[in-house]
Structure 1
Amino acid sequence: MLDVRRLRLLCDLDRLGTIAAVALARSYTPSAVSQQLAALEREAGVALLERSGRRVAFTAAGRVLATHAAGVLAALEQTEAALAAARTGPAGPLRIGAFPTAVRTLLPAALVALGRAYPALELMVTELDPADVPAALRERRLDVGLLNDYDAAPGEVHADLDSVPLLDEPVFLAVPAGTPCAGLRAAGDLDWILASAGTLCHEVTLRVCAAQGFTPRVRHRADDFATVLALVGAGQGVSLVPQLAVPAAPATVRLIPLALRRRTRIAYRRGAAAHPAISALIAALT
């Protein structure tokens, strides 16, 4: 019998490429990951990996098992969803990950509606950058998470995750009201307010500015758009903001529409769409 937890590690290795990366993602030691994969080889009765020093590569059998393992994990999600649906309705914990602006604007009404309709549902929200959501879903720290992508940074295709669209919105260049600026190309000489390195917003800003021929001159770093807009309104720099953040803009901010859009999707593990708690959240949000 193949151990499901070990199959997850094999899928992680297929996705991440190295045992060290799998260990980091799962908060294990590399030695522990290697031991679990060796145990999986014994269960399978065939070599799954070829080792050369610290590097590993899939054998033909390992590649076959990794491909089928993804389907096995999705089938388990479907089974759990079917069992949950056999109960009286959405109940138990539902762990939701969302970026700060969504927590402030999109989630509250949905949480209230779900709490009234399904009092046995235990709703738990964690603020999380969209870039961190896929890993949190795979590691089962989340059941549902909100993902973003932009025209300038299309979203990855995650074979082990599914999603449904939630929002498609324009993006603006936010500038202090008294600052003469006609658009992005003219913002190359201005100070910028950027998100933290490693976040999607940070990457998008760098790509958008690079397309205009400049690297933004960073003065402040902030991840919450309400904070960003407050800094812009105080004359501290310019920034990119999506329409969802616009209600937080003070009167001292001017918003310049850009030919750039942001899309938000509701993501979950493949096979989990029919879970009653997940489908109830999707219905409440959409």
Structure 2
Amino acid sequence: MLDVRRLRLLRELAHRGTIAAVAESLAFSPSAVSQQLSVLEREAGVPLLERTGRRVALTPAGRNLVRHAEAVLERLEQAGAELADARSGLAGPLRIGTYPSAARAIIPAALAALGREHPGLEPMVTEVDPAEVSALLRSGELDVALVHEYDFVPAEPAPGLATESLFTEAMYLAAPAPGTIADHRDSPWIVAPHGTLCHSMAVRACQATGYTPRIRHQIDDFGTVLALVAAGQGVALVPQLGVADAPLGVALSRLPMARRTRTAYRAGAARHPAVAAFVAALHTALPSDLRC
């Protein structure tokens, strides 16, 4: 009989690529991960890994087993959801991931609504870049999260996860005067830190008009970004949730592009009562101009 915990390790190796990354994500030592994967190979009776020096790759049999592992783990999530639904009342921690502008504009009202309906729940919010959400959900560090994508940075399907649409925002060019992205080929730009979706979006939006932006500042807080634009330090792309209370000296020009936000959770967890309750609270908390 194959051990589910070892199947989870194999699944994580398929997604993360190295034993060291699997060990770090699940708080194991690399040697413990290697040992457990070796036991799984003995249980399977066929080689699951190909080792070349320090590199490890999955064999065809290993990749096939990962597909079965995804299905098994999804069914276990469904079983956990049904068991939770059979209990009287919701209680205990609910680990929530969100990006900063949603954390400020939507999450407080959603938590207030959630608390009124389910006072026994203990929501625990962590700000996290959407690029990191998949790994945190699969490892169990998060139960549900808000993720976003841009027209120029579409989201890749994440094995083992499910998502549903929440809302769509307009995007704006923040500059000293009204204009378009094409008008600022020679302007300094203010973008999010390298490696974030927001950074990629700004760079690709400029490249779509024929140039690569000259980046001066890398800032992750839209309030600070707008203050820098007002101070003449550059121009920036800012989503609808980030443009509230723009300072004097900042012109906001709506662009033909959007940012879309979705809720994400482990496949099979959509009917978990705590996850469903939080998603319902999010819809209640949406500003009127973001509701479908």
Shorter-chain TM-score tier: over 0.9
Output the CA distance in 2 between the equivalents of 1:115 and 1:229.
33
Q: Residue by residue, what CA displacement relative to the aligned partner does 1:251-272 show, whole Å, maximum 9, x if unpaired?
A: 3210111111110000000011
Output the CA distance in 1 between the equivalents of 2:31 and 2:136.
22
1:102 is matched with which residue?
102
2:244 is matched with which residue?
247
Letter in 1 for 2:100: P
2:201 is matched with which residue?
204
Question: What runs of 5+ residues in structure 1 fail to find an aligned partner?
Answer: none
Q: Tell me, yes or no, if the aligned pair for 2:6 and 2:36 is still in contact at 8 Å.
A: yes
Distance 1:197 1:28, change over 3 A: farther
Q: How many residues align?
A: 283
Q: How does 1:116-131 map to 2 (within 5 A)?
A: 116-131=116-131
* Partner secondary structure for residue 47 of structure 1: coil
Q: Tell me, yes or no, if the aligned pair for 2:173 and 2:179 is still in contact at 8 Å.
A: no
2:175 is matched with which residue?
175
Task: Pick from 209, 220, 225 the counterpart of residue 222 of structure 2.
Answer: 225
Structure 2 length-normalised TM: 0.91
2:65 is matched with which residue?
65
Question: What runs of 5+ residues in structure 2 fail to find an aligned partner?
Answer: 284-292
Q: Tell me, yes or no, if the aligned pair for 1:148 and 1:262 is still in contact at 8 Å.
A: yes
Output the CA distance in 2 between the equivalents of 1:245 and 1:60.
46
1:263 is matched with which residue?
260
* Partner secondary structure for residue 189 of structure 1: coil
2:47 is matched with which residue?
47
* Partner secondary structure for residue 248 of structure 1: coil
Aligned Cα root-mean-square deviation (Å): 1.7
Structure 1 length-normalised TM: 0.93
2:185 is matched with which residue?
188
* Cα drift, residue 29 of structure 1: 4.5
* Partner secondary structure for residue 147 of structure 1: strand
Output the CA distance in 2 between the equivalents of 1:96 and 1:160.
17
Q: Tell me, yes or no, if the aligned pair for 1:90 and 1:280 is still in contact at 8 Å.
A: no
* Cα drift, residue 16 of structure 1: 3.0
Q: Residue by residue, what CA displacement relative to the aligned partner does 1:55-83 show, whole Å, maximum 9, x if unpaired?
A: 33333432331110011111111111111
Identity of aligned residues (%): 59
Letter in 1 for 2:261: T
